[in-house]
Amino acid sequence: MPHTFVIFGASGDLTQRKLVPALYRLHRKGRLPADTRVVGFSRTKFTHDAWRVSLADSTAKHVGDDFDAAHWATFAPSIFYHAGDIGRNDDFASLARFLAELEASKSSTRVYYLATAPRFYEPAIEQLGRSGLADEARGPRRVIVEKPFGCDLASARHLNAAVHDVFHERQVYRIDHYLGKETVQNLLVLRFANTIFEPVWNRNYVDHVQITVAEEVDVGSRAGYYDTAGMIRDMFQNHLLQLMMITAMEAPARYAADAIRDEKVKVLHAVRPLSGEPVRRDTVRGQYRGYAESAEVKRGSRTATFAAVKLWVDNWRWQGVPFYLRSGKAMSCRTTQIVVQFREPPHMIFAAGPKSAVESNRLVIQVQPAEGIQLHFETKVPDAGMKLRQTDLDFRYQREFRGTIPEAYERLLLDALEGDASLFARADEVEAAWSICDPILDEWQRSDEPALYVYEAGLWGPSECGDWMAAQGRQWFDICPVLK
Ligand code: BG6
String of DSSP letters for 339-399: EEEEPPPSS--S---STTPPPPPEEEEEEESS-EEEEEEEEEPTTBTB-EEEEEEEEEHHH
Using 50, 70 and 90 to split pLDDT, how confident is the model at 156?
very high
Question: Which atom belonging to ligand 1 lies closest to the Cα atom of 215?
Answer: 10
- Helix, coil or strand: residue 248: helix
Measured CA to CA, the distance from residue 360 to residue 77 in angstroms comes to 58
Q: How many whole angstroms from 269 Cα to the centroid of ligand 1?
A: 25
pLDDT above 90 coverage of the chain, percent: 94
Q: Is the pTM of this model over 0.95?
A: yes
Nearest atom, ligand 1, residue 176 CA? 3
**Residue 456 three-state SS:** coil
Q: Is 239 a catalytic residue?
A: yes
- 398 φ/ψ angles, rounded to the nearest 5 degrees: -65, -30
User: What letter does residue 462 receive in the DSSP assignment?
Assistant: -
Report the SS3 class of residue 206. strand
Q: How far is CA 307 from the centre of its chain?
A: 16
Distance between Cα 145 and ligand 1 center (Å):
16
- pLDDT given for residue 281 in this prediction: 97
Residue 206 has pLDDT above 60, yes or no: yes
Please state, in angstroms and rounded to a whole number, the distance separating the CA atoms of residues 127 and 50.
Answer: 26
Band the pLDDT of 353: cuts 50, 70, 90.
low
Over residues 409-457, the pLDDT tens digits come to 999 999 999 999 999 999 999 999 999 999 999 999 998 999 999 999 9
> How remote is the CA of residue 177 from the centroid of ligand 1, in Å?
9
Using DSSP's 3-state secondary structure scheme, residue 329 falls into coil
First to last CA, the chain: 44
> Measured between alpha carbons, how far is residue 115 from residues 121, 124, 156, 273, 340 in Å?
9, 11, 17, 32, 35
